[in-house]
Structures are given as structure tokens and as C-alpha cells.
Amino acid sequence: MPWNNQGGGNGGGPWGSPPGGGGNGNNPWGRPPGGGGGQPPGGPDLEELLRKGQERFRNLTPGGLGGGKALLLGVLAIGVLWGLSGIYRVQPDEQGVVLRFGQYVRTEQPGLRYHLPAPIESVATPKVTRVNRLEIGYRSAGENRRAGGDVADESLMLTGDENIIDIDFTVMWVIKDAGNYLFKIREPELSVKMAAESAMREVIGRTDIQPALTEARQDIEQQTKQLLQTMLDEYQSGIEISQVQLQKVDPPGPVVDAFNDVQRARQDRERLRNEAEAYRNDIIPRARGEAEQLIQQASAYREQVVNLAQGDAQRFSQVLSAYSQSPEVTARRMYLETMQEVLGNTNKVVIDQSKSGSGVVPFMSLNDLTNQLRQQTPATPAAPRQ
């Protein structure tokens, strides 16, 4: 060893014997107080440990290299291994967040990446595709449950018409920016929960209770999602809301029966209104059809009367024109036509005045005679069928 036999005499190292003490010291600090030979208390001396370590390293060195070269190669190998320790892989569902002495530097995408070895740089790889589920107003089985799974402090909200409503909903979210997610906000899940509850209360505060219980559920989900995403973007949280889903929208438990009665009354009102609408839709078109029919009939009658009057006027004009050309012939024709119209449907008896006698028996009804003759005449038998 280089330290052996330096300083002359009985010194145990390069510093010799300690002040005020003699003897054979075995380490650079001499013997401990109290004197005595052998090893110092607590284990072997430092020189012996260094000597053994050098001998072991020399035995492991191939080719019998000298101590200096072996030490250089060892340092070089350690340096190479230290440099290679910065190689890492970012999985497809992760983002790599590189820190330099604890300060955020950059974000790496999936693949084989490299950062300066520790302790200069380090990397965190949070899962960015995993969908995180957050329950507000209730707790599912397997989690801490209160009041049968319902958390009244979170679920009871005030509506726009100053009614209380019990709402349970679920928020689904993923990591959009891993750097902001890790360093811009503290306790991300709690931050999302508080922001989601605040957004839902604001939306419900603008909505009346009746639409909230019935047809406005989808609008409430969309408005809450947009408002919550706006709040988280203002916080630079690096979180993206994928869905807000209402699980239960009910009136508070103590008044649920009264609300159910009101709901049934509303349903009855809607049913009666629908029946009235159906009756109106049936009777009004029918009345309109009948009115249109009467209008059409009146229009047809009007056209008929006008056309007949115009025809009669035109016929009279033609008769007048013919009468002016030959009055006697026209007058006789008109007389014959009139007599034909008057006597056409009456019973007539023609008596020849040229014969002697009156020709008519007094008080003899000719119509009764004719009927008697018809009754006395036997009916002609029908011809037999072939």
C-alpha cells in the first residue's frame, strides 16, 4: 500500500502518530483514546478495507491490466451505463412529462424517448386515455356509502322557480394535457368534483322544476358539460370532460308523494287535452267539409238558375224574332204547344158533334165507366216459358 511505512518510525499512516501518543497506530488518526492494540472498535481499519477492495478489482480485471487503466475503464463503463439509463418508453395510452431538476420541461408523445439521466432529468407517464368516473350526489356499491348511497349535501339543489330537487349525476373525464394536469392544479379529482357540482347548481338554478323532471334532462347534461369544460380550461387543468350523465332527477324524499300526485294530475290534464284536441281535429274538418259542400251546392244552384234564365231569355228573343216574321203561324204554334202542355196529362173524351143526339148520358161518369170496362176485360195469360 502507498501509505505503508511513510513518515518513518512506528507511524501507522501518512500522518504518523497522533499528538501526545506513541505506539503503533494503524490508521491516519491514530489510536482511539484509552490506548490498546488491535483493531479500532466498530470494525477493521480503513487501510485494510482499501487494500482488499483494490485486490478484488485487480482480480476481476481481464488481461492483468494495471490499477489505473482498470479504474479508467470502470469509470467509463459506469458513465456509459449512466447515460443509457435515460432511455425510456412512453406507452400508447400515456404521455411522458419530462422534469429537469424537478421543473417541467416538455411533454413527450408515445414511443421510444430519451431524457438526461437522473438526477438531472426524470419522467412521469400518466395514463391519458383512461376514462375516469366521478360520482356526485351518490356512491355506488363498494365505495363509502351514506344514507343508502345518496349524499344529500351534494344532490339537493335549488331550481329556478325556488323548488328543491334531488339530482345524482356522473362525470366522465380524461387527461388532455399531462403537463398541465400534473403541475397546474392540485388534487385533480377533487377539483373536477367541486367544479362539476358548481356547474350543475348553476344550470339547475336557471331551470324550473317541471322541465328538469321531464323533458329538459338532455339540455341540462349538455349545458353542464359545456360550463364545466369552460371552468376547467380557465384553470388550465389539462382535463377534458367526455360526458355528463344524469342518474336520478327526483323531488326530495319527504315530498315525493305530493310531487307524484301533481305529476299524475298533470298527466290527466295532458290526456284530457289530447282527447279534446283529437275531437277538435275530427269535428272541425268535418264542419269545414260540410260548409264547403253547401257552398258548392249553392254555387251550382246559382249557375243553374242563371243559365236557365239566360236560356229562357234567349228563347223568348228567338220566339219574338220568329213572331215578328210570321205572326199567325207563330201564334198557332204557341197555342198548340200550350194546349199540349195543359191537356197532356188529363183524361180526355172526344165527342163528335156531327152525330145526332147529345152523345153523352147525363150523370154518367166516363172515368168510372172506363175503369169498369178495364176490370171486366180478362187479363191475357202469360206465354209459357220454353
For the stretch 211-229, pLDDT in tens is 888 888 899 999 999 999 9
Task: Give the C-alpha distances (Å, rounded to integers) separating 249 from 135, 155, 156.
Answer: 14, 9, 10
Residue of 92, 186, 99 lying closest to 130 (CA atoms): 92
What pLDDT, in 10s, does the model give residues 163-208? 888 899 999 999 888 888 888 888 888 999 999 999 999 999 998 8
pLDDT in tens, 137-172: 888 865 444 444 778 788 889 888 888 888 999 999
User: Does residue 13 have a pLDDT over 70?
Assistant: no
Band (5; pLDDT cuts 50, 70, 90): very low
pLDDT of 349 > 90? The answer is: no
Query: What residue type is assigned to position 35 of the chain?
Result: G
Q: Compare 83 and 39 and report the one with higher pLDDT.
A: 83
Q: Which of 221, 239, 125, 121 is nearest to 175 (CA)?
A: 239
The reply to whether the predicted model has a pTM over 0.75 is no
CATH number at residue 168: 3.30.479.30
* Residue 207 included in any domain: yes
Peptide bond between residue 188 and the one before it cis (omega within 30 degrees of 0): no
Residue 368 in domain: no
Least confident of 4-18, 45-59, 164-178, 199-213: 4-18
Please say which residue of 97, 124, 151 terminates a domain. 124
Contacts of 161 (CB under 8 A, 6+ apart): 208, 209
Q: Mutual orientation of helices 188-205 and 217-234 as an angle, nearest 10°?
A: 130
> Which pLDDT value is given to residue 14?
42
Indicate whether 16 pLDDT > 80.
no
Give mean pLDDT, residues 41-50. Answer: 62
Distance CA 137, CA 201 (A): 12
Q: Which residues of 305-329 are buried (b: 16+ CB within 10 A; e: fewer)?
A: eeeeeeeeeeeeeeeeeeeeeeeee
| Domain limit, last residue, from 235, 250, 265 | 250
- Region 254-260: mean pLDDT is 79
Cell of 236: 388550465
157 and 97 share a domain?
no
Q: What pLDDT digit, counting tens, does each position of 306-316 carry?
A: 999 999 899 88
**Which residue do the cell numbers 491514530 mark?**
30
- What is the residue whose three cell numbers read 349524499? 151
Tell me what pLDDT residue 195 has.
93
Cα separations in angstroms, 187 against 68, 124, 143, 181, 195? 53, 16, 19, 10, 12
The domain in which residue 96 lies consists of 87-124
Task: Tell whether 245 and 196 lie within a shared domain.
Answer: yes
